[in-house]
Copies of this chain bind each other. A is one copy, B any other.
Amino acid sequence: MLKKAGVAILGLGVVGGGTYQILTQNREYFKKTQGVDITVECVLEKNKERAISLGVAEEKIASSIEEVCANPNVDIVVEVIGGTGVAKLFVESALKSGKTVVTSNKELFAKHWPELEVEAKKMNAGLFFEASCVGGVPIIRTLIDGMQANKILSIKGIINGTTNYILTKMADEGWSYEEALKEAQRLGYAEFNPTADVEGFDATYKLSILSSLAFNKKICIENVYREGITAITKEDIAQGKEMGYTLKLLGIGKDTEKGVEVRVHPTFVKNSDPLASVNDSFNAVHLVGDAVGEIMLYGRGAGALPTGSAIVSDVIFAAKHNEYFYASFENNKKGNNQVKFVSDFTSKYYIRLTVKDMPGVLSKIAGLFAKSNLSIAEVKQVAISEGNAQIVIITHACNESAINKTLNKISNLEEVVGVNASIRIED
């Protein structure tokens, strides 16, 4: 028995185009393999020529969201416009008309998930967002329908392809941050204004969504500590490599007895860590569940067809099932203050200092560490030039506040030229 579903696509950019392509080219295949006949009933795209060049018949180009919502043949609305402007208005209109929504919009979802869910529930409409995180990798489906037996203890992910490309090139080719960024922009991996990626905002949206699902508590983006990769130097990447570490921009979430910890920042992982060999624009998410133990999912985090794959998988699921997933967050109604957050993280540290090359420096520095009860795992003098020495210190696990205080004191020593880098280590 063939089920039928009509789709409207809002926005025919890169992802919208990929989605349109998969849906139209594979229609017969989906009828055969999935038992669903999915038709694109209309699109909403200002650039009519773009739509027509993709093969959309002119009469299927809607002129307004009202027209889309009023179309009785449209069951599922795919929103791939992005941002929280018209995209939000359009998604709200669609849900209010009882249409199921499938979206790739991480910013919208990170900021407005609970409100959108209220609208969806009212009309018994579905709200699907696989494409919002980690492109074609079915991490959302895994969290919703593959890991339910588990309490998720931690999530660690390379969830931004742009920064992973940049860091990979800095490590493999010895490029500077600027050189790697320029090449990423040339290849279309980074935007002309790269801020959302390189400053970690994009990863923050995704970590907010993933950790909310994983820990069953709404984690707002304001709760996520964020630090980008713009201050990373090729020297530290090379130095870390030599000491057995690979640098990645990680999104880290932990749910412990002390509270929830959520943070996005450059992180050294051991070369043997499965995340260390996730290179270029690939993404990966590592989860620990109390029953299943370690799980990792790996794949392309962006691109027309990988993200289109996630959207179309959601569309097919929506067409086949009548019972939709709604998050049942512990703090759904009571607000975020019901969740306890840890802000003074515990972490190991890689610290690089430039000091004057004279006797007694190391002893003074080690003394300040000892005074704060911070334990040093390894010290290495890595270079000398112009009368200065470079020292790298690897610490044992210590609190953020303690390490920051100590580094502050160290930077005030007259023998210390500067604290060049302080990068967290996760193992």
Q: A149-B22, A149-B26 are in contact. Are A292 and B298 (CB under 8 A)?
A: no
Q: Which residue of B lies closest to A272 (CB)?
A: B277
Partner of A30, one of B148, B293, B309, B330: B148
Is B148 a contact of A291 with CB atoms below 8 Å?
Answer: no
A138 touches B142 (CB 8 A): yes
Partner of A322, one of B145, B146, B323, B330: B323
Binds B, one of A251-259, A313-321, A342-350, A382-390: A313-321
Closest to A32 in B: B328
A294-B299, A299-B294, A323-B320 are known contacts. Are A308 and B146 too (CB-CB below 8 A)? Answer: no
The main secondary structure of chain A at its interface with chain B is: mixed
Asked if residues A305 and B291 are in contact (CB atoms below 8 Å), the reply is yes
In the complex, which residues 271-298 of chain A have their Cβ closer than 8 Å to any Cβ of chain B? 272, 274, 277, 282, 289-298
Number of copies: 2
Q: Which residues of B contact A323 (CB under 8 A)?
A: 320-323
25 A-B residue pairs with Cβ-Cβ distance under 8 Å, sorted by A, are: A18-B291, A32-B216, A32-B328, A33-B216, A136-B289, A136-B292, A138-B142, A138-B295, A142-B142, A145-B145, A148-B313, A149-B308, A149-B312, A272-B277, A291-B308, A292-B309, A292-B310, A293-B299, A293-B300, A293-B305, A294-B298, A295-B299, A296-B298, A321-B321, A322-B322
Interface residues of A (CB under 8 A from B): 18, 22, 26, 29-30, 32-35, 130, 135-138, 141-142, 145-151, 216, 272, 274, 277, 282, 289-300, 303, 305-306, 308-313, 315-317, 320-323, 328, 330
